[in-house]
Structure 1
């Protein structure tokens, strides 16, 4: 049996730290937390995390300094949490070793999705995602429903991957636009257009898996969902 991926969450805000840890544990990850980076090197040695969720604005050494420190002593991935969304800041974060980042305020579903994607790219969690009789293989770029190969466009496949990875959670249009299209300042109706096409292809081989949660967004589930 594969052990769960290990994650270290470093944030001086206890409420954020607790919420992030709770959301990640709910997904089956083994999570440890720290309120600052003072013991980071020791935490990396003792806990040997696969990934560090790191706040940029920390007391003492900043997250950007700590990201470089993680890189110097560990092979753990780094996902930054930051309120800084300028291109220069993002590029600096990547230059110092961040694998990805989320901008505050963020939805926990987005953070979980980004953490999952980073760990999947590193081979720490299985690539294939199963929801009922749907099997999605992001690495192989294939999706099958009841054994039948689905003929999807690139956008439909990215959309399916995001929904499948977030299975069981309600994902808003804004989250979908950000994750699938890369930005959310376009007509949100584009989500409905692509979802409608994706549903038609999927439901040609089985019952509905992508459910509309009225006023909130969409959820992928093999179980019937009340709108």
Structure 2
């Protein structure tokens, strides 16, 4: 029997998957969005995650897989999508997705995919990139991953320790409340001076919490977005996006698409980048959470008037933004698009433009 985590925001579809996979004898947990998927996955520690890509919050399916893989090196993954763009397939391949399933599909297809994924050999990976432990209110260690056990080996108590606070001498135990929103330096007992950097989160409803540890002499910036996402405490450095809705960007160049997605996501926003208006319209028809669309003049070309007309017909609630390397502001205004960004633009430029427009 394997442990399988299902992440799907459509309740009926999620329930169907749960019942169908439970019949195979697996232990199933479910989550309704990306944030819940990270929280459940970090504690459930599944063998396999089955997740929709397009989830109705700013943490999409690939985000969940990347975050959980940082602490669970054995994790296998199946990605479900109704929008299989070339970039998504490429990102899925780079994330070692075992199965990539397009909607619609049958229950037998998903069952077969799950069994094939579980039977597939694990990809050889390095140790977990983040040292993570789960502890109770009293400090009892419920789980420590391989990276955390490696850190424990450097201490006097060693990896056989059962209580987290036992790693420290009396009076030197960390105050976890101080590590909720900043890194705390702690010193476990060892035969040499040893420093760790520690972050944690508020306890869950059962009184358990995750603790992340890093060597004091190691790189301090690598993996920070993953840690913030894992702990559910996105810092202002990564969370400037003030809107509930997400943005879709139409851009022909693949490298530019990747850069734009990274830039918006680092600002805390949800972002899709596609190479054509047709793909954008498919997304807008499927995702009610999309609130903004950025259209590149050079990508759309002579079809810009009809593209804007079609987008307005499908989703009149979506705010359109023109975009070009040249100043095409007047061309967009003549077509009823009053917002414009000239390339290159930053996430702050988009945020300020949208904020001013919505405020007016």
| Larger RCO: 1 or 2 (CA < 8 Å, sep 6+) | 1
TM-score (norm 1): 0.50
TM-score (norm 2): 0.32
Which protein has the larger Cα radius of gyration, Structure 1 or Structure 2?
A: 2
